[in-house]
Amino acid sequence: MSTELKLTLPDNLAREAEASGLLTPEAIEALLREEIRRRRVDQLFSAADRLANLNEPSLTESEVEAEIEAARRSRRAS
């Protein structure tokens, strides 16, 4: 599956992006994938910060393993 994308950019940005090879389908795909990855990492650290601020007792090793396994089962099911 593919999706067609139409961008409206200021002329100077479009020229610069074109000259840098950033308007090719491959370059746009790479840029989008990198931004998605960056946002996931940011979300992970934000979640870690929220957890650290909960002042809850730490999970035991077996509880951590159970949570990881539950998350893996959930991902496999979706």
Model confidence at 59, pLDDT cuts 50, 70, 90, reads confident
In a domain, 2, yes or no: no
Asked whether the predicted pLDDT for residue 51 surpasses 90, the reply is no
In a domain, 3, yes or no: no
Q: How many domains does the chain have?
A: 1
Look at the block and give the residue holding tokens 């795909």.
29
In a domain, 5, yes or no: no
In a domain, 1, yes or no: no
In a domain, 4, yes or no: no
Asked whether the predicted pLDDT for residue 36 surpasses 90, the reply is yes
In a domain, 71, yes or no: yes
In a domain, 22, yes or no: yes
Domain range enclosing 33:
11-77
Indicate the pTM of the whole model: 0.64
Please give the angle made by the CA atoms of 4, 8 and 14, to the nearest 5 degrees.
105
Model confidence at 55, pLDDT cuts 50, 70, 90, reads confident
Q: What would you report as the CA-atom Rg of the chain, rounded to the nearest whole angstrom?
A: 20
8 A C-beta contact, residue 21 and residue 29: no
In a domain, 64, yes or no: yes
